[in-house]
Amino acid sequence: MNPSQADPETRRQRHQQQEQQQLQARWREDDLADPEPLDYVRKACSRWRANVADELRALAAERGGRFARPRAGGSPAAAGVGDGEGSRGGPGAGGGSGGGGGADSNNRGRRDSGASNAAAAANAGTGGFLFDSADLLDAVSAIRSPNRSDFLPVEEEWGMVHLQLRVKSLEELRESYRELSPELRQTGLDDRGGFGEDRFTAERLSQGRKILKAGFAPEAMEYARRGVADSLRPAVWRAILGLPKASKQALTPQDLEYFAGLMSEVDRTELVTDELYGLDVQFISDDDKYFPFEETLHDVILAFSRDPWVLRHSEATLHDLVPIGEGAVGADDWAFLSGAGAGGYCPPCGVQPFRGLVNYAAVLCFLFEEREAVYFTLRTMFARFWCRLNAVRSGPGMLLRLLKLFERHHPRLVRKLLQLGVQPLQLAMPWIQFGFVTYLEADQASLCTTACSSSPCDLVLLLWDRLLGYDSLDLLSVLAASVLVFRAKLVLQVSDAAAVMEIFSDGRQLEVVPLLQAFMFPAW
């Protein structure tokens, strides 16, 4: 048969096989083309990747040695995956309601049952993830420069990032983020009078519509630096991310076909990682705000796991690639793995499941009704932004540099926190790593009285507006430091670590724009 005459699913599978055959070589070439500049960080990154891969292999060994198997007829438990034995020690320790999109409900039920079993294991105290924020921070804090000086700035002494990295000064931050100056009115602050659309709101809406009509990404980015109106946010974000223009969030036929192909692969093949992705969905779905999106999040994160596009386009490679063929134990396995679409790596996206990965998708459910729209926005944002927050790299915009930016601009209460046995970065790490998802959330009272608040995640969305507008993650570190400053008076009044943790456990009363302005423009 002529390849052009094959059905869409066959063409997709052939294309996927070709991509997977080239992926390993390209992955290594990318590392050589853009190497980590610090040799000791590169070695630490290699150790971290190897430890995560070893955790995955250990998990597969507990499942009979297989990384993948056909998801024929029965449940995941019947295939030996999702039996509730998914605990991991972590690599550090070891070394709308969402649209269903018409997916088959029986297949979805089979996918979900593995996640439910994994969640039961977690509730029994078995952990369940390959690693979490604490493991990643441990790996970062273990990095030491062989040329470390005995005469270091104070933040080098108390900090957890033991590297002397160049980060922006306060003056440079003011210049880089001058659109956040109190001199300029901001969406998310100056449109919160509760009296309907004032002149500023109307002007911002008009300006945003003109920019969307032109479809010019740089103008959309400049517009987003002062915040985006709720009604325009989905379209503005898509314009910034380079996604196709969409009417009422409609996607192109090619996008719909591509996503359907990913879901077909989910229904056809069961990966040993599936239950851990599902476990992450279970955790965030325990929050009432995200529970309505549980089904959508299951589909989105499993589709994400099957998509080699993520690995091919991400600005930072997170984990070592583990060939699915490593787990083949017999002729039947090899016959299955050599089938269309089944080869490659576990998982094909190259991102191993870790606690909090689903957070990046959960917020998007408040913007998009269709799971396909959630998916393609997540995929693009992860490749451009979120991968940087999970890679042990020291380059500009990478995790180590962002954590160092936070430590460099530490507030005066650091000594007090250390006396109480609390490392500031242990507080800030999950805020920075996950873009403040689940922490910055409006309470119900503000949703009822604030004109522009449309969802519990409105504060996170306002923050992400600025991240997209500036094409930078620096504001995550700045906001984390400003939260510590804002809570300083309360911290100085307590006498134990538990009280400190309680003070920082609730971010519902925080406001993104005022905090950023107060930190960067204190004299205003």
**Percent of the chain, pLDDT > 90?**
57
Average pLDDT over residues 311-316: 93
* Largest Cα–Cα separation, the chain: 76
User: Helix, strand or coil for residue 70?
Assistant: strand
- Band of residue 223 on the pLDDT scale cut at 50, 70, 90: very high
Return the pLDDT at 328.
57
SS3 content of the chain, % helix, strand, coil (to 5): 60, 0, 40
Identify the helix (H) or strand (E) that includes residue 491. Answer: helix 488-491
The answer to whether 480 and 512 are in contact (CB under 8 A) is: no
Residue 425 has pLDDT above 60, yes or no: yes
Q: Which two tokens stand for residue 22?
A: 């080239």
Return the pLDDT at 80.
38
Residue 141 has pLDDT above 60, yes or no: yes
Query: What region does 188 belong to: left with phi over 0, alpha with psi -120 to 50, or beta?
Result: left
Average pLDDT over residues 303-312: 96
pLDDT in tens, 335-365: 455 553 445 899 999 999 999 999 999 999 9
CB atoms within 10 A of CB 164: 13
CATH of domain 155-199+394-520: 1.10.472
Residue 294 has pLDDT above 50, yes or no: yes
Identify the helix (H) or strand (E) that includes residue 362. Answer: helix 359-362
Average pLDDT over residues 198-205: 88
The domain ranges of the chain are: 12-144+251-380, 155-199+394-520
Q: Is the dihedral of CA 404, 406, 408, 413 positive or negative?
A: negative
Q: What is the mean pLDDT of the chain?
A: 80
Between 334 and 465, the higher pLDDT residue: 465
Residue 64 has pLDDT above 90, yes or no: no
At 491, which amino acid appears?
V
Return the pLDDT at 34.
54
pLDDT in tens, 376-424: 999 999 999 999 999 999 999 999 999 999 998 876 788 889 989 999 9
Return the pLDDT at 447.
40
pLDDT in tens, 86-111: 335 556 544 333 333 333 444 444 34
Q: What is the DSSP letter of 5?
A: G
The answer to whether 236 and 223 are in contact (CB under 8 A) is: yes
Residue 117 has pLDDT above 50, yes or no: no
* Rg of the chain over all Cα atoms, to the nearest angstrom: 23
Average pLDDT over residues 456-482: 95
Residue 201 has pLDDT above 70, yes or no: yes
Residue 267 has pLDDT above 70, yes or no: yes
Return the pLDDT at 270.
93
Chain centre to alpha carbon of residue 167: 23
Residue 30 has pLDDT above 60, yes or no: no
Average pLDDT over residues 42-68: 93
Give this prediction's pTM.
0.83
Return the pLDDT at 113.
42
Distance CA 244, CA 375 (A): 14
Name which of 408-412, 444-448, 513-517 the model is least confident about. 444-448
Name which of 149-153, 310-314, 367-371, 474-478 the model is least confident about. 149-153
Q: Which two tokens stand for residue 31?
A: 């590392």
Residue 13 has pLDDT above 70, yes or no: no
Return the pLDDT at 325.
78
- Band of residue 158 on the pLDDT scale cut at 50, 70, 90: confident
Average pLDDT over residues 147-171: 78
